[in-house]
Structure 1
Amino acid sequence: MKKATIVIIALLMCAMTFAQQALWGGAPVISPEIHNNNSVTFRLNAPKAEKVQVTGDFLPTQKISTPFGEFDGPGVADLTKGKDGVWEFTTPEPLPSELYSYSFIVDELKTTDPSNIYMIRDVASVTNVFIVPGNPGDLYRVNDVKHGTVARRWYNSPTLEEQRRVTIYTPSGYEGSDKSYPVLYLLHGSGGDEEAWIALGRTAQIMDNLIAQGKAEPMIIVMPNGHTQNAAAPGESSRAYAPVMGGGPRQAVASMEDSFGDILTFVESNYRVKKDKAHRAVAGLSMGGMHSSAISAQYPNTFDYVGVFSAPPIATMMMPDSEDKGKYTEEFVAKLKTQQDNGFKLYWIACGNTDFLYQGVIDSMRQMDKIGFKYTYRETGEGHIWKNWRIYLTEFAPMLFR
């Protein structure tokens, strides 16, 4: 055998060894296991642990104190240790269809489930996820339908004086046609980034499924980074930073509202889009909801569709009573009057009835009622959670561009 052949075989054997080493470790532990009745079993192989718990949004909530106040947080349940050192917990009841997130707590240390490769990041927290089938869970799954394309692009923002990253969904068939499409600009909440809606919001899966079912028009969805002090998500720009609620590595040069024109220019210069008001929509959650109301008011003849999720459309409703609050509210209401005079097809507000921003939403709508501003309100249960925001997207998207 020639020396070169021996070297190649040795290299292949070495590569195979490293490729397979992650599979070593004995019999696999199945976790989570979704049973036929939609109850779920969680397992963790931790023979030396003293205590193992699971925490997640599938459990009854518990109150959590934060610097921003007291909020409903994910509940906690104890696992039981078996003779083989595998800890186990099964939900006492079947779970409703939904996408759920969870983590383990091993001797007071929170960790992910090593048996579950499905993980997502929400601000600075990384958790495992699983989907219970049914409605709406099936909309969040990758089903056997035609799929769109998700691209991460960089655009120039002269207003913010830098290149910035944006996530863009194009529907199935976009690349192979010369057709122009309507656009939804979809904005994240505080602490999020251009990855939030595509990962936590399941935007691509939702839109693939809605379009395949004929429930939504094929559209382009643009998901920018709403923190103008940051160029991109953590690890995706030259400026390293730890994700925090609204923080970043530098001072913002300009606001999201003032810099939004740069995003419009990039999209309408690089994508086949319909460049008129009737084919543009803007929507967002929490901070992104306030951005959506502010952007649509600042560009009052640009969007026929506006979605404000879990946020007061008039942001000043969250301010303490003061002379400044009255002044800024009056200025914004004047912008809403102009927006109303220019006309639009849908102004959709949605909020959970236990959301900490709920009262601000109600107060905003009272102000809008005083000037006869037309909106549609959708109230759901629960609070400031991705479960609600995914539902809002599945309901809002089918109403667009009809």
Structure 2
Amino acid sequence: MAIVPFSFFSGALYARKVCQVYVPAGYREAEDKRYPVVYLLHGVNGDETSWTVKGAAESTLDVLIASGELTESIVVMPNDGGYGHGTFYANWYDGTGRFEDYILYDLIPAIDREFRTIADRTKRSVAGLSMGGYGAFVLALRNPEIFGAAASIAGALMSAAMLTPQELRSDILRIMGPVHGPYAKQLDVHVLAAQRIREELRPALHFNCGREDFLFPANQAFQELLNQLGYEHEYMEFEGSHQWSYFGEHLPDALRYLERSLHR
């Protein structure tokens, strides 16, 4: 078990980027073995080291793999693109940056080339906290041919219809454009879930949130929507607020679900 820094070039952002990659024990010795991949996304003001430095991700992965609760896996912890306070892993309406393209067409192919991954949606999942929870769901719902499952921990599961006037004066409008416009709908988790339920190929979804979290109402609203749609999912509520003690404690809940969903 080791964390390996991995650098690659992003054509979408025209920049050199670095991610942290967890490789399981025996990776270097088992030269013919290939592994499932989990992409683990950070939140606002974070970077590729956030999950290991603040969220104890390495020790969590060690314990889950040793106990058999998680298959030996490669876990990739990327930077969101490094623009402003956070990119939300989306291609911005105002043209600032193509941060979804950076993940899909630069990061994932680079990981599949460099590491012995199982390069298939049935063995590739994405998870994240807060902004990264939103990013995980939007990436998976928009690209179910790439991700078979997604998990959100205290995610910013936004719908344009739920945004407050204060939020509309932030970078959100730079990301999604006019709230009632077609571009905003492409980045709205409520709209995306409703579109995906009509199609056979859709990602498995897990999300959890603390009851004292300011994002708790948004998570409840998304759960209600999925129930109305009949979209199969797992939703969990716990005591806790929007802080690293919660994120780290409930990372195992997300990883266990991804394990179950990709082995059904």
TM-score normalised by L of structure 2: 0.81
Give the counterpart of 1:260 among 78, 81, 103.
Answer: 103
**Unpaired segments of 5 or more residues in structure 2?**
88-93, 169-176
Give every structure 1 segment of 4 or more consecutive aligned residues whose post-TM-superposition deviation is greater than 6 Å.
none
Contact 2:153 2:208 in 1 (8 A): yes
Q: Which residue of 1 aligns with 2:144?
A: 300
Q: Supply the distance in 2 between the matched residues of 1:324 and 1:365 (Cα, whole angstroms).
A: 25
Q: Which has the higher strand share?
A: 1
CA RMSD of aligned residues (A): 2.6
Alignment of structure 1 residues 3-402 onto 2, 5 Å = 148-177=1-30, 178-229=32-83, 245-246=85-86, 253-261=96-104, 262-316=106-160, 318-320=162-164, 324-327=178-181, 330-331=185-186, 332=188, 333-340=190-197, 341-344=199-202, 346-399=204-257, 400=259, 401-402=262-263
Residue type of the alignment partner of 2:145: N
Contact 1:167 1:222 in 2 (8 A): yes
Residue type of the alignment partner of 1:380: F
Q: With CA pairs under 8 Å and 6+ residues apart, which has the higher RCO, 1 or 2?
A: 2
* 1:332-387 per-position Cα deviation (integer Å, ceiling 9, x unaligned): 34432443324346300110001011112222233333433222111011110112
Contact 2:213 2:242 in 1 (8 A): yes
Residue type of the alignment partner of 2:206: W
Q: Supply the distance in 2 between the matched residues of 1:252 and 1:206 (Cα, whole angstroms).
A: 38
Contact 2:6 2:21 in 1 (8 A): yes
Residue aligned with 2:117, SS: coil
Q: Supply the distance in 2 between the matched residues of 1:345 and 1:190 (Cα, whole angstroms).
A: 24
Contact 1:180 1:274 in 2 (8 A): yes
* 1:254-281 per-position Cα deviation (integer Å, ceiling 9, x unaligned): 2432321111111111111111111011
Q: Supply the distance in 2 between the matched residues of 1:315 and 1:195 (Cα, whole angstroms).
A: 29
**Unpaired segments of 5 or more residues in structure 1?**
1-147, 231-244
Q: Which residue of 2 aligns with 1:41?
A: none
Q: Supply the distance in 2 between the matched residues of 1:165 and 1:274 (Cα, whole angstroms).
A: 21
Q: Which has the higher helix share?
A: 2
Contact 1:228 1:255 in 2 (8 A): no
Q: CA deviation at 1:316?
A: 2.7
Q: CA deviation at 1:304?
A: 1.6
Contact 2:13 2:99 in 1 (8 A): no
Contact 2:12 2:99 in 1 (8 A): no
